[in-house]
Chains A and B, each alone.
Chain A
């Protein structure tokens, strides 16, 4: 017939409640952190995805540059094009300024990662060109 002191039961309940409050606080903090992480991931994902689509899409960049190089105004320009895994190098020892304007207009108006560029004036109508675009 031994009984437990109700004050002890009360104390136990209070301890359980304190534990539950503590646990709830922890879970809520985790929820806030998870929500913040999710929002950040979503924003980051969109940004990384759009930036990669512009500067790291090898196939898209290659095709776009090929289209530029095969356009009519550059057909007669003696361009030296070298392609490797990470970049494309376009050079010409002597290019008509009209063709150069056309080429640079398209490159600079597009989103390409131009890592090196050298345009040297040779005469009123001629220039030399060295350019590397990476992805």
Chain B
């Protein structure tokens, strides 16, 4: 095997015993030996490479050994060149040769880079490559009478590069894209949900501001709750005051019993009745009891003073 090095490209062949030489950090290209990929030249009733790529797996279905393959295709005249290769195998070889993938600029198939090859080229100690029906094939060097040494300095690299799937053995691309698509779709749905919920919240906050300005509310809910509590208390007190006064004004009194004073201050209602001295008060207190009024009674001569907290 030759591991010929040019300023721009290296030829990678599994049977090569040549020591890899390159400066760390320097970017270079790699041309894959025909022994690192499978190629077919076929005519298909489709027009675009994109359509061919959908068929690649089935094209190679019965002709490849067991393995995890990546596929690619290129147009070649009226026909298509279809390739199958094992990323893991190529990466393992690069690793075995001490090549860091970070330093690789692009990877090429020898098929594309030597499509105009004339004669044969030695790629390692025992094998040479040559074009047969426009397909680059390998043959023992001993079968070929004239085989030149591989020289990459005169090779003008094409634009037909591939990218090795370093993690293709972990997850295949289809599954990866499927899972990725699901996760991205889910993320988009969540983002839309967040946007909708956020918009709704903003609209509600705006409505709340409108309520505040329409009803001339104070700036904080705490203040408004306090105001409501204040006026609720007033309403409750005034309702109770009127209720208690009405109990006395509609009370059935004995002939000698008269209300002589009604006084309300500091939320306490006092009603003084004449002719209701101790022992005579039963007719009055029983009526208050039946209404559920809480009261205190005090006496001064013939007067009875009823005290009620409002």
Chain A residues within 8 Å of B, Cβ to Cβ: 1-3, 5-7, 9-10, 13-14, 16-17, 20-21, 23-24, 27-28, 30-31, 34-35, 37-38, 40-42, 44-49, 51-52, 54-56, 108, 111-121
A51 touches which one: B171, B228, B261 (CB < 8 A)? B228
- Residues of B within 8 Å of A38, CB to CB, are 204-205, 207-208, 211
Sample of 9 further A-B pairs with CB below 8 A, known A3-B165, A42-B211: A1-B164, A13-B184, A14-B183, A27-B201, A34-B205, A34-B208, A41-B217, A44-B224, A114-B264
Q: With the chains together, A9 CA to B171 CA distance in Å?
A: 12
Q: Are B261 and A121 in contact (CB under 8 A)?
A: yes
A20 touches which one: B102, B194, B212, B265 (CB < 8 A)? B194
Q: Are A27 and B198 in contact (CB under 8 A)?
A: yes
Q: Which 10 A-B pairs have the closest CB atoms?
A: A51-B231, A45-B215, A20-B190, A117-B264, A13-B183, A1-B104, A121-B260, A27-B197, A31-B201, A34-B204
- Residues of B within 8 Å of A6, CB to CB, are 167, 170-171, 176
A41 touches which one: B197, B212, B231 (CB < 8 A)? B212
The DSSP consensus for interface residues of chain A is helix
Nearest B residue to A119, CB-CB: B262
Q: With the chains together, A27 CA to B51 CA distance in Å?
A: 45
In whole Å, how far is A44's beta carbon from the nearest beta carbon of chain B? 5
Q: List 9 A-B contacts (CB under 8 A).
A: A3-B165, A5-B166, A13-B184, A17-B186, A30-B201, A38-B204, A38-B208, A41-B212, A120-B261
Q: Is B107 an interface residue, CB under 8 A from the partner?
A: yes
Q: Are B205 and A17 in contact (CB under 8 A)?
A: no
Q: Are A28 and B215 in contact (CB under 8 A)?
A: no
- Residues of A within 8 Å of B104, CB to CB, are 1
Q: Are B234 and A45 in contact (CB under 8 A)?
A: no
Q: Are B211 and A121 in contact (CB under 8 A)?
A: no
Q: With the chains together, A108 CA to B240 CA distance in Å?
A: 11
Chain B residues within 8 Å of A, Cβ to Cβ: 101-102, 104-107, 163-167, 170-171, 176, 179-180, 183-184, 186-187, 190-191, 193-194, 197-198, 200-201, 204-205, 207-208, 211-212, 214-215, 217, 221, 224-225, 227-228, 231-232, 234-235, 238, 241-242, 245-246, 258-265
Q: With the chains together, A120 CA to B273 CA distance in Å?
A: 11
In whole Å, how far is B249's beta carbon from the nearest beta carbon of chain A? 9
Nearest B residue to A128, CB-CB: B261
- Residues of A within 8 Å of B105, CB to CB, are 1
Nearest A residue to B208, CB-CB: A38
Known: A37-B221, A120-B260. A5 touches B170 (CB 8 A): yes
Q: Are B238 and A114 in contact (CB under 8 A)?
A: yes
- Residues of A within 8 Å of B184, CB to CB, are 13
Nearest A residue to B107, CB-CB: A1
- Residues of B within 8 Å of A2, CB to CB, are 101-102
Q: Are B167 and A17 in contact (CB under 8 A)?
A: no
Q: Are A17 and B234 in contact (CB under 8 A)?
A: no
Nearest A residue to B218, CB-CB: A48
Known: A24-B193, A111-B238. A44 touches B170 (CB 8 A): no
Q: Are B183 and A10 in contact (CB under 8 A)?
A: yes
Q: Are B201 and A118 in contact (CB under 8 A)?
A: no
Q: Are B170 and A56 in contact (CB under 8 A)?
A: no
Q: With the chains together, A55 CA to B242 CA distance in Å?
A: 15
Q: Are B167 and A27 in contact (CB under 8 A)?
A: no
Q: With the chains together, A20 CA to B268 CA distance in Å?
A: 60
- Residues of A within 8 Å of B190, CB to CB, are 17, 20-21, 23-24
Q: With the chains together, A40 CA to B184 CA distance in Å?
A: 39
In whole Å, how far is A121's beta carbon from the nearest beta carbon of chain B? 4
